[in-house]
């Protein structure tokens, strides 16, 4: 077991282990003459009950999401089908983050992946998908995988984090959580979990090193 003041690390998946989907959103917006960050605006409007939230809590089907997202985006000024947005989620794996996860595993840290995810049915449409082989190999590195689609609640709900601590038995004061969204980090901070907002691969690794004293190539 490690002798560090931290003993557990929680990782988000999309935007942390993979490149940020926001980059793909912005490219789509540019190519389709949609205002910059419009998709993020749709996703952040009514965030606990909108189409995105319902999909990630397994409350609606992909077909229902497709139409509901179109309705919500139209109300905000531009109609975009939900399936167009889901097609942008693939992302690319960040190899140095995966190497860090492997190193922490070797050092005896408890590690969990905390991710908002959805059931994509028979389609491998994103790096989050259960049928994606690359994703499955990474998920095998974790002691626990806690997905919104399985537990019926999602980040940033307080219940999600309380559930994660209950399942993993991690000590919040000895836990670090990495996510690319500030809204997802706030509830963790309130539980006394140390947090890192991931902006880039290098920045995340630097902040991990600052907290743990462990350095990465």
Is 113 domain-assigned? Answer: yes
Domain that holds residue 112: 8-19+91-212
> Do 14 and 31 belong together in one domain?
no
In this predicted structure, what is the pLDDT of residue 127? Answer: 44
**C-beta separation of 22 from 40 below 8 A:** yes
Q: pLDDT for 158-179, tens place per residue?
A: 999 999 999 999 999 999 999 9
176 lies in the same domain as 110:
yes
Sign of CA dihedral 134, 137, 140, 141: negative
Average pLDDT along the chain:
91
The domain that contains 133 carries what CATH number? 3.40.50.1000
Counted domains in the chain: 2
153 with 102, same domain: the answer is yes
* Claim to verify: residue 96 and residue 196 sit in the same structural domain: yes
Residue 167 lies in a domain: yes
- Please indicate, yes or no, whether residues 157 and 82 belong to a single structural domain of this protein: no
Reported pTM: 0.87
pLDDT digits (tens, 9 = 90+) for 75-118: 999 999 999 998 888 778 999 999 999 999 999 999 999 999 88
- Is 3 within a domain? no
Asked if 177 and 81 sit in the same domain, the reply is: no
pLDDT for the residue 129: 54
Residue found under tokens 């309380």: 162
* 49 within a domain of the structure (yes/no): yes
**Are the CB atoms for 153 and 164 separated by under 8 Å?**
no
Model pLDDT, residue 198? 97
Examine residue 80 and state whether it is found in any structural domain, yes or no: yes
């Amino acid at each position: 077991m490690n002798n560090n003041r931290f003993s557990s690390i929680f990782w988000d998946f999309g935007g942390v282990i993979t490149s940020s989907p926001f980059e793909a959103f912005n490219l789509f917006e540019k190519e389709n003459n949609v205002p910059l960050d419009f998709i993020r605006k749709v996703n952040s409007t009514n965030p606990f009950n909108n189409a995105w939230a319902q999909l990630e809590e397994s409350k609606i089907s992909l077909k229902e999401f497709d139409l509901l997202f179109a309705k919500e985006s139209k109300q905000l000024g531009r109609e975009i089908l939900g399936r167009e947005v889901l097609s942008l989620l693939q992302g690319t794996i960040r190899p140095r983050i995966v190497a860090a996860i492997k190193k922490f595993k070797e050092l005896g840290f408890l590690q969990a992946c905390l991710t908002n995810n959805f059931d994509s049915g028979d389609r491998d449409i994103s790096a989050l998908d259960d049928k994606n082989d690359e994703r499955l190999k990474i998920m095998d590195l974790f002691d626990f995988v806690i997905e919104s689609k399985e537990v019926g609640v999602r980040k940033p709900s307080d219940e999600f984090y309380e559930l994660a601590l209950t399942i993993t038995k991690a000590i919040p004061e000895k836990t670090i959580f990495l996510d690319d969204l500030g809204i997802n980090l706030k509830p963790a901070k309130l539980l006394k979990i140390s947090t890192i907002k991931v902006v880039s691969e290098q920045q995340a690794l630097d902040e991990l090193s600052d907290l743990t004293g462990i350095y990465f190539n």
